[in-house]
Amino acid sequence: MATDPIGAAAGPHAGPGIEPPPPSLLVIFGASGDLARRLLLPDLFGLFLDGLLPERFAVLGVSRTAYSDDAFRERISDSARALGEAKFDASRWDAFAAGLHYHSADLENPESYPALRERIRSLCAARGIPGNIIFYAAVAPKHYVSLVRRVGGTKLALPSEDLPGFRRLIVEKPFGRDLASARDLNREILSVFPDGQVYRIDHFLGKETVQNLFVFRFGNGIFEPVWNRNYVDHVQITVAESIGVEGRGDYYDEAGAVRDMIQNHLLQLMALVAMEPPNSLDGDDVRGEKLKLLKSISPVDPERARDVCVRGQYTEGEIGGKKVPAYRAEINVPPDSSTETYAALRLAVDNWRWAGVPFYLRTGKRMARKISEIAIQFHPAPSQLFKDTSCGQLDSNLLVINIQPEEGIFLRFGAKEPGPGVCVRPVDFHFTYREAFGAKSTPAYGRLLLDVMHGDPTLFPREEDVETSWALLDPFLRRWREDPGRDLRFYPAGGWGPPEADALLEGGRDRWRQP
């Protein structure tokens, strides 16, 4: 039986202590789109270079666009080269690309699926893959239901005599548009693929610093004891982008910042920051504690929605010395759009650990800079000891976990300024992955794809996680659905959002960080 050229090159380079995943075929629906071209396949090439792909592995790209296998490989090669010649090895690319295949099909046409099934069967036979198939729905969310139904109708979703082995389905966010649609989507998917086979992917959870939260909190004895209301004043989670909608105005105007970022990325980050220690690193234990935390977030009364949430939309402005248009002037955005490009929330966790500690979440496009971070602000130290010195108001300790653009952690604490007097000044202790470990971390999609191959669900939200998140946000979505322009504020591109967001922060001394 033939072996996959990908595996033949990758196998000898497997890292020490890392078991390779079983042989599998990755079927990417929507393979001609940007997600597959710019992220999925280049990240798979990175896994291949690191020797992390299974010995027998292949990719079948499926889309309506007519490509031959060679034309598809050339298209992906251009994206891989864009990573930089220093990272691109032509000979190793050829070995990887030999396992890339393409099948042209109209995914909305049921008559396309028998031929697709036969192509999958023949590829598995040729590559020595024992029927292990991973389906990746890299298509617009509106196509999820019809795609899943047709995969099921062609008997591809379950093992069969000619295609034994496991089946797994990867679904991109957004997982629905609100609670009702999320429930409908989950019901449709789970009628074809059992829950243990469904991987709802959120690429933020594949970032190294996000995963390091487990080690940082639970593997260091000096941090977990102060990770509670007795020491923490408040928590800020920021995901800011300097870009606009980048030609995706038609998608973004249907989504907005709350659906696009808060329902998935920010609430998942909040769950990781605030969850209780799991019994183990087993996927069910970790996801169980995350779900408990999400369920502990106090629901918001619709009448108080405007008191705990500010939504905004960017107007024209300047970023990096370049003028940029207003959101309403972007391509494929209606000139009277009421969609938010910024959202900030104040949430509370109703449990013993976090009672009284506000969690501030914010995200926005066309912000002053691109940054994703979690900032833990501690209570200020008693200042009586220094009241007769020249210190003035002492700064509180601050711990910041940087997710992007540079992954790392910094801690701010007080130190005596040199000189005969006593004056305390804040200093920062910095740690970055690049400086500490040298090598660049595995890209987020690559890490998550590898987890799916291993069948490890730890970093993937479950059905109940998704529905709990939507239930928290439904009061806001209903309020804006009834009156689309309600509560909408405006902010100039290149700033940090509408000034009204400052009113969300409590205590007088709290301020939004401006990294």
Which residues form the catalytic set?
265
Q: What is the DSSP string of 270-315?
A: HHHHHPPPPSSS-HHHHHHHHHHHHHHBPPPPGGGHHHHEEEEEEE
Cis peptide before 405 (omega within 30 of 0): yes
Q: Whose CA is closest to 345, among 357, 355, 360, 356? A: 360
With helix as H, strand as E and coil as C, how does 201-235 read? ECHHHHCHHHHHHHHHHHCCCCCHHHCCCCCEEEE
Task: Determine if residue 51 is left, alpha or beta; phi over 0 gives left, psi from -120 to 50 gives alpha, anything else beta.
Answer: left
Q: Are 95 and 9 in contact (CB under 8 A)?
A: yes
- CA 462 to chain centroid, in Å, comes to 14
Report the DSSP beta bridge partners of residue 424: 416
3-state helix, strand, coil in the chain (%, to 5): 40, 20, 40
Strands of 100-104's sheet in order across: 100-104, 57-63, 24-29, 133-137, 167-172, 198-201
Q: What 3-state class would DSSP assign to 249?
A: helix
What whole-number distance in Å separates Cα of residue 247 and Cα of residue 249? 6
